[in-house]
Amino acid sequence: MNRVNALIAGCLMAIVAAQPAFAAVDREKLLTEPGVFGTFAVFKVDDSWWKLDKAARTFAATEVKAVFQKHGDNIITDTYLLRGLMGKADFFVRVHSTEMLHNQNFLVDLMGTRLGKYLANTYTFNGITKKPNYVPSLPDDLKTALKTPPDPGPKPYAIVVPVRKDAEWWLMPQESRNAMMKEHTEATVAYLKTVKRKLYHASGLDDLDFITYFETAKLDEFNNLIIALERVKENRHNKQFGSPTLLGTIRPMDEILEILAR
Amino acid sequence: MNRVNALIAGCLMAIVAAQPAFAAVDREKLLTEPGVFGTFAVFKVDDSWWKLDKAARTFAATEVKAVFQKHGDNIITDTYLLRGLMGKADFFVRVHSTEMLHNQNFLVDLMGTRLGKYLANTYTFNGITKKPNYVPSLPDDLKTALKTPPDPGPKPYAIVVPVRKDAEWWLMPQESRNAMMKEHTEATVAYLKTVKRKLYHASGLDDLDFITYFETAKLDEFNNLIIALERVKENRHNKQFGSPTLLGTIRPMDEILEILAR
Amino acid sequence: MNRVNALIAGCLMAIVAAQPAFAAVDREKLLTEPGVFGTFAVFKVDDSWWKLDKAARTFAATEVKAVFQKHGDNIITDTYLLRGLMGKADFFVRVHSTEMLHNQNFLVDLMGTRLGKYLANTYTFNGITKKPNYVPSLPDDLKTALKTPPDPGPKPYAIVVPVRKDAEWWLMPQESRNAMMKEHTEATVAYLKTVKRKLYHASGLDDLDFITYFETAKLDEFNNLIIALERVKENRHNKQFGSPTLLGTIRPMDEILEILAR
Amino acid sequence: MNRVNALIAGCLMAIVAAQPAFAAVDREKLLTEPGVFGTFAVFKVDDSWWKLDKAARTFAATEVKAVFQKHGDNIITDTYLLRGLMGKADFFVRVHSTEMLHNQNFLVDLMGTRLGKYLANTYTFNGITKKPNYVPSLPDDLKTALKTPPDPGPKPYAIVVPVRKDAEWWLMPQESRNAMMKEHTEATVAYLKTVKRKLYHASGLDDLDFITYFETAKLDEFNNLIIALERVKENRHNKQFGSPTLLGTIRPMDEILEILAR
Amino acid sequence: MNRVNALIAGCLMAIVAAQPAFAAVDREKLLTEPGVFGTFAVFKVDDSWWKLDKAARTFAATEVKAVFQKHGDNIITDTYLLRGLMGKADFFVRVHSTEMLHNQNFLVDLMGTRLGKYLANTYTFNGITKKPNYVPSLPDDLKTALKTPPDPGPKPYAIVVPVRKDAEWWLMPQESRNAMMKEHTEATVAYLKTVKRKLYHASGLDDLDFITYFETAKLDEFNNLIIALERVKENRHNKQFGSPTLLGTIRPMDEILEILAR
């Protein structure tokens, strides 16, 4: 497994290197605070892209990087390679900012680049972060357990699962929902070390109620986590879970551009 | 947030500037009266559009503006940018007139322009405005609450949610429907200041029963409004809610043309 | 509304002008008798069509007219513009004859013309006319009401709604179905003057049970009719109602060709 | 109706003429015995096909005929024109042999011809013939009725309806299934003279349980047969019935090639 | 049937020949151990591929072979021809390794070849192998029966059926699930000699819960196996079974390339 570790380490270094020298917006704040808008934009590169000559593609890559930098005052971005693990999709960008308009303006600029003209925007999911709804109602030991820090080290895989709840979920008394979310939360405790999670609320911003985002180094553990979540009663109220599930690897935009340009 | 406000203000000025100097049809009347036909036409620009040279695109933009003006005696239009916030769609036009034929003739002419030849018409929704069905049956205090004026200032985001009801909804006694709509209306009161709403009836004019249209400056409030509406019993009778939800920003056609021509 | 009336009148004159000087098949008979096969073929014109030069398009239009004339001994046709009111579709042709093979041969020839090579046949619905199933069981006053003639004057809008019933509908005792259809028929009486209807049976000829065809000058009345039909118990047994609903305007083939060639 | 009869007769003669002078495999045996694999491959011709010059298309047609002949030792084929009666499909080929690999090899060769490069294979259904499951349990008079020979004369229309049953169907005790199939069979007796039927089992070979194939000269009778089958209790267990229904006319490959090359 | 046997034998020899001279990773281990990641990538070759000249295609084939060899240290692969037996798909590759990243890197390289630029990746399924969940709870005689070795000889057909379970399945007490899986397992005993099976767990790695993979020489037996599985109560909990079912023949990549290049 040395090779994998080396790969992961290289990957991590590349990610760090890809961060701008000065953070115009506070990355940590945008990734942890409520009231932040997240947009997940999935792209497929058109076949004709590869028929461009090398110089044209190098120019296009430079132009894309400039767009990322130009919007660095308003947004933070993360990029993911889907190619090989998901049909009809090559990569996705996760964009965070305090105003949805910033996300749109960045993506409009990205799609306006020379590369952008070769990108089909297969899916876009929009959501907003909020303070946890259910944590206040959880028993103290579970609250404590939730503070378990994730294992150190890179988590090269990312998974995005869009979710839509049925009407019965929303019409349920708050107490019943609390009880179900307690059961749901308990099922996740065993995986807090190996799987990082982040939740976005999407009702009305998209044909979804939630966007759930995961990072892990251990897909076997992640598979077990999802099975554990399928086994709690709250699962009865998932009208949509995935469809599409995005499974990709975290990669800096440079590496994605390099792969697409091969 | 100064930057956002500046952007919004600029956006608003552009919208005002985009209104024709003389209003051939009475905009305010068409936007408030019953018996008006509304058509929402969603477009995606073909990739080959961007391969036209600058002169060709400038000519095409002029031609599009002429079509909007030519039909100004019969229709009013509003335009919205979807690009970046919704996959497979770039913008939509909302058309109002007193006869559906006017909407068709305008859109046929729009699609007959040079730009039009590069537009795929991904979705079209058709509806008609009516006097409120349920307001007469509401208690007086709720009727009064409904008169709350929206907060002043621009509302740069627009959301369109098509809705189809199940057979049980339509077969319910009027009283039960009234009771459900009272609950529905109560859920919206807290958001009357931040979210503007407009309703179109679509049964038989499309594969829908209603087209609901919203404008807001605060997407977090809008997200809360939709969650509040998911929590009322009427939600059980929504066979379709969204799918697709259109989330865009109000932009004058000039700006959309400029973005598409980058 | 004078302009609309003038438009409608012009439209009507064009329709009349489009009828062949001698009717090779008896139009009235084919439109009223049982045992007639109806095919609804929906087309979308490929973007490259508009890149043909004027002369090529004029030739193509002449060729299309010749195909309509060539089959005039076997079929009658009506043509409708969908463009502007329905995404991904430009027009449809309704074909009637006493043998489905005639409908196929005409459409094969139409698709074999120069224009045809630019047409995508997005949907086709096939059905057969029959004597009314339920009328004999209706009470006499309802039978009399059904004889109400439609208001004179053109009905420029046409709507096609494909329908599929659930298994329970077909397994119901005839008496229960009669009772439901009596309720259904009563709901339509108020609209007999403003909405013309025609029914085709499609089980096995298509993935449908019925094709319902409407003509009207008043889309508000048509919207009310459909709402009235949604409010009767028979609606519970509609597994599919629309999807797609075709909403278009009756236009002679000449005018459609002219619009497509702009 | 003389014209139709003449057409049908001409059609029949062409079919007979299209049979190879010597039957390398026993056609009758493959069409009646159990354990035979049937593949239904539906094709749509790409628009660019018609832009080939006449000589190229003539060559392509010759090449296709050679492929049919080359595989004549292993397979028998029947060909059907869908164009005009079904959107997004032009024709289908029904292939029979005693080994699915033969069906694949023939179709791979067909798609490898010059014409094949212009064919999109929109659907393929795979099945296997078996001895009748339910006939042994039927009462003697029904068994006798089932021996009614079809009316002589050509049956130019063919319909293919793919079917998938629900879990309850498969979990039902054999006796209940026998009772339902008795009712189903009784509903078909009135149509044995006018509609020929053939059944293929498809579970696991496709996303289907059955492929039902029909031939008739009287589509009104066929429509009545399907309505009769919708009225029996077994219909409650059809999770899928059609979707797509293929409605076409039996035509020799030569005629299909001639139509496609117009 | 001699011809078929000869074909099968030839096919088998080709498969053996296609194995690399030295196995960089242990094929047997990867095919039998738990914790192995399997990716099924389905491809459709673009029509323009066949317009390349012979030299270009020969070069492309050599390049593809080099990619398979390059990744031989990390992955094992099996290749299957779908063309002819499944619409809109030509072949699929099954990839196994101990880290999903290896599967992705191989497929990214494959899609980066000259051939790859002509491949549409229509579907991808991802799963992981595990120790059998239910075998420990089975009675001893059934455990023994499960050890029945498959009949010797090639099994040229492969079938892949993706499966998704409903919420009730996952919420069922373990005992009830054990009982259902006992019934399921008993249904398979009769087919252990003729049908080989392999199971992948997919929850969270894809929009699936399981990927079931089969190999057989006898499709009639396989059809009977699936019918037997449809007849057990566990079938009630299959929300998705197939859709798509992949039915193909095992063929070395060389042969697939040769077929695609005809």
Write the pLDDT tens digit of every residue in B111-160.
999 999 999 999 999 999 999 988 899 999 999 999 999 999 999 999 99
pLDDT tens digit sequence for B247-256: 999 999 999 9
pLDDT tens digit sequence for C101-115: 999 999 999 999 999
| Residue D240 contacts E where some CB pair is shorter than 8 Å | no
| Residue C37 contacts D where some CB pair is shorter than 8 Å | yes
Classify domain B1-262 at the CATH class level: alpha beta
Of B19, B124, B35, the residue nearest B68 (C-alpha): B19
How many Cβ atoms sit within 10 Å of the Cβ of residue A144?
A: 10
CA–CA separation, A120 vs D6, rounded Å? Answer: 53
**Which residues in chain A (100-119) have CB-CB distances under 8 A to chain B?**
100-108, 111-112, 117-118
Which whole number is the average pLDDT over A129-140?
93
Q: What is the pLDDT of residue C49?
A: 87
| Residue E206 contacts A where some CB pair is shorter than 8 Å | yes
Q: Is the pLDDT of residue C8 over 70?
A: no
Query: What fold characterizes domain C24-126+251-260?
Result: Alpha-Beta Plaits (3.30.70)
- Which token pair is E37? 């990641």
Asked if the peptide bond before residue C152 counts as cis, ω within 30 degrees of 0, the response is no
CA–CA separation, D182 vs D188, rounded Å? Answer: 10
CB contact under 8 A, B85 and A117: no
Domain D135-247 in CATH 3.30.70.3420? The answer is: yes
CA–CA separation, B65 vs B62, rounded Å? Answer: 5
pLDDT band at C262 (very low <50, low <70, confident <90, very high): confident
Counting as contact any 3 or more CB pairs under 8 A, the partners of E are: A, D
C-alpha to C-alpha distances, E36 to E39, E126, E200, nearest whole angstrom: 10, 11, 9
E217-245: burial string, b at 16+ Cβ within 10 Å, e else: bbbbebbbbbebbbbbebbebbebbbebb
* CA atoms in the 13 A half-sphere facing the CB of A105: 20
Which whole number is the average pLDDT over E156-165?
98
**Chain A nearest C-alpha distance from E247 (Å):** 19
Q: A21: which residues sit within 8 A by CB, 6+ positions away?
A: none
CA–CA separation, A90 vs A109, rounded Å? Answer: 19
Provide the residue type at E150 as one letter.
Answer: P
Q: E2: which residues sit within 8 A by CB, 6+ positions away?
A: none
CB contact under 8 A, A86 and E124: yes
* CA atoms in the 13 A half-sphere facing the CB of E177: 16
Is the distance from CB of D217 to CB of D255 less than 8 angstroms?
Answer: no
Q: What is the CA radius of gyration of chain B?
A: 19
| Chosen from A12, A123, A220, A221 to mutate, greatest number of chain E CBs within 10 A | A220
Percentage of chain D beyond pLDDT 90 is: 81
Pairs of residues, one from chain C and one from chain D, whose beta carbons lie less than 8 Å apart: 105
Which whole number is the average pLDDT over D231-256?
97
Q: Any alpha helices (H) in C137-240, and if so which ranges?
A: 140-145, 167-171, 174-189, 219-230
Lowest mean pLDDT among B71-85, D9-23, E165-179: D9-23
pLDDT tens digit sequence for A16-32: 334 444 456 899 999 99
pLDDT band at E255 (very low <50, low <70, confident <90, very high): very high
Phi and psi, residue C163, nearest 5°: -135, 135
Chain E environment of D112 (Cβ under 8 Å): 259, 262
B129-143: burial string, b at 16+ Cβ within 10 Å, e else: beeeeeeebbeeeee
pLDDT band at A54 (very low <50, low <70, confident <90, very high): confident
Asked if the peptide bond before residue E20 counts as cis, ω within 30 degrees of 0, the response is no
- For residue D62, the SS3 value is helix
Chain A environment of E207 (Cβ under 8 Å): 242-245
The architecture (CATH level 2) of A2-129+252-260 comes to 2-Layer Sandwich (3.30)
ipTM: 0.91
Q: Is the pLDDT of residue E15 over 50?
A: no
Asked if the peptide bond before residue C154 counts as cis, ω within 30 degrees of 0, the response is no
Q: What is the pLDDT of residue C14?
A: 39
Domain with CATH 3.30.70.1030 in chain D: 2-129+255-260
CA–CA separation, B142 vs B121, rounded Å? Answer: 40
Residues of C acting as catalytic residues: 197
Provide the residue type at C94 as one letter.
Answer: R
Domain with CATH 3.30.70.3420 in chain E: 135-247
Chain E environment of D171 (Cβ under 8 Å): 231-233, 235-236
Chain D residue with minimal CA distance to E249? D101
Q: Any bridge partners for residue A173, and if so which? A: none
| Chosen from A94, A107, A206 to mutate, greatest number of chain B CBs within 10 A | A206
Is the distance from CB of D195 to CB of D221 less than 8 angstroms?
Answer: yes
**Catalytic site includes residue E262:** no
Q: What is the pTM of this model?
A: 0.92
**Which of E84, E159, E233 is closest, CB to CB, to D104?**
E84
CA–CA separation, B42 vs B94, rounded Å? Answer: 9
| Chosen from A96, A108, A109 to mutate, greatest number of chain B CBs within 10 A | A108
Element spanning D2, H or E: helix D2-18
How many Cβ atoms sit within 10 Å of the Cβ of residue C26?
A: 11
Q: Is the pLDDT of residue D52 over 80?
A: yes
Which whole number is the average pLDDT over D191-214?
98
Domain with CATH 3.30.70.1030 in chain E: 25-129+251-260
The architecture (CATH level 2) of E25-129+251-260 comes to 2-Layer Sandwich (3.30)
Of A252, A188, A256, the residue nearest A216 (C-alpha): A188
CA torsion E82→E86→E88→E93, rounded to 10°? -30
Q: What is the pLDDT of residue C236?
A: 98
Q: What is the pLDDT of residue E3?
A: 44
Is the distance from CB of E163 to CB of E210 less than 8 angstroms?
Answer: yes
CATH code for the structural domain at D2-129+255-260: 3.30.70.1030
| Residue E239 contacts D where some CB pair is shorter than 8 Å | no
